[in-house]
Amino acid sequence: AQSVAQPEDQVNVAEGNPLTVKCTYSVSGNPYLFWYVQYPNRGLQFLLKYITGDNLVKGSYGFEAEFNKSQTSFHLKKPSALVSDSALYFCAVRAPGGSQGNLIFGKGTKLSVKP
Amino acid sequence: NAGVTQTPKFQVLKTGQSMTLQCAQDMNHEYMSWYRQDPGMGLRLIHYSVGAGITDQGEVPNGYNVSRSTTEDFPLRLLSAAPSQTSVYFCASSSGGGSGGNTIYFGEGSWLTVV
């Protein structure tokens, strides 16, 4: 069965420091991987995705993620955190052959960036 | 750009009442989905549609009904509301074709409380 794990419920970072939000996945075949961000009382906003090719994917708002097939991970990173990055972050996966309308989501990681 | 539009944003229902959450997209997307978001559980798929006239069940379909008479609209019906259906509901859409890595776009959410 396909699954996504976000092992940290919350990540705390000081402004200006690098941040990492972890994600591991379990699917058969080569996965399609996504990161979304949710601000309070808002919908999910697309950040970036990995389909194929370069393992380092760059996305919106200075975020990037690294696909690691051997570790089945897709960690989200940013070199210098901003207070405005504080939000709920979701990792999601779609297996090859799965319906293009559907994703399997992790439980989310709350990122808190302090001044 | 309207994108994915959901109404209402907030709703309080009494147990046993029925209601419809509306969803419309203006991107001519083939795929539309409904997810529910509960604390600590991420997003779970309720129903999805791969095109007008075609719908299927997701992970948590019980108590919900959908139809897709047009490409643009994908309403979600609660047949007899229960307190367990208190949640935040998100409608989403994505284009078809390609390898399956198409981005899914989400609406702003509908906050439903069943008392």
**Which chain B residues are within 8 Å of A43, Cβ to Cβ?**
4, 90, 106-109
DSSP letters of chain A?
--EEE---SEEEEETTS-EEE--EEE-SSS-EEEEEEE-TTS-EEEEEEE-SS-SEEE-GGG-EEEEETTTTEEEEEESS--GGG-EEEEEEEE-TTS-TT--EE---EEEEEE-
List chain A pLDDT tens, one digit each, 115 residues: 788 999 999 999 999 999 999 999 998 888 899 999 999 888 899 999 998 888 999 999 999 999 999 999 999 999 999 999 999 999 999 876 666 667 899 999 999 999 9
Which residue has 């791969």 as its token pair?
B50
* Per-residue pLDDT tens digits for B38-49: 988 889 999 999
Residues 39-58 of chain B with CB under 8 A from chain A are: 40-45, 48-50, 56, 58
Q: Which of residues 80-99 of A touch B (CB under 8 A)?
A: 90, 92, 94, 96-99
- What does the alpha-carbon distance between residue A20 and residue A79 come to, in Å, rounded to a whole number? 9
Report how many Cβ contacts below 8 Å link chain A to chain B: 80
